[in-house]
Amino acid sequence: MEQAGELLRSRGLRSTVQRRAVLEALRGHAHSTAAELEHRIGVGTATTAPGGLSRQGLYNVLDDLTRAELVRSIEPAGSPARYELRVGDNHHHLVCRGCGRIEDVDCTVGRAPCLDPAEDKGFRIDEAEIVWWGLCDRCRPADG
């Protein structure tokens, strides 16, 4: 990944300590919730929160980064929004009903969208989002 500051500027965003901290906190931690990021960054802790980042500030940064397409937000049913750095490739997700683990699934066709609807209803479609649900190998009973 490019340096966080250069990446932000390339998308027309100012390179603030808060934005850089969120990007760094997501590195290596795909599918993080805002609460997980809050803990990882130290939000609300005056001695560790970068630039005095507050909970509301974290959500504002996540919104900015998502709108700039530096971060992708996914919202599996029954789960808080999850954030990841993998953007722009139309990949999909597997979600475990037991533990909530989320794994990326590459698009089998290799171009967006992976699936073509029977009818476009007047939309110009440029992306498909698929979520498969099941039990991961750790949650599945040994006989199943």
Give the start-to-end residue ranges of the domains of the chain: 4-74, 88-144
Give me the pLDDT at residue 91, please. 86
- Does a cis peptide bond (omega within 30 degrees of 0) precede residue 141? no
Residue 1: per-residue pLDDT: 46
CATH superfamily, region 88-144:
Ferric-uptake regulator, C-terminal dimerisarion domain (3.30.1490.190)
Domain 4-74 belongs in CATH node 2.40.160:
no
Q: What is the pLDDT of residues 9-64, one digit of tens each?
A: 999 999 999 999 999 999 999 999 999 999 999 886 656 677 788 899 999 999 99
37-73 residues labelled b (16+ CB within 10 A) or e (exposed): bbeebebeeeeebbeebeeebbeebbebbeebebbbe
pTM here?
0.83
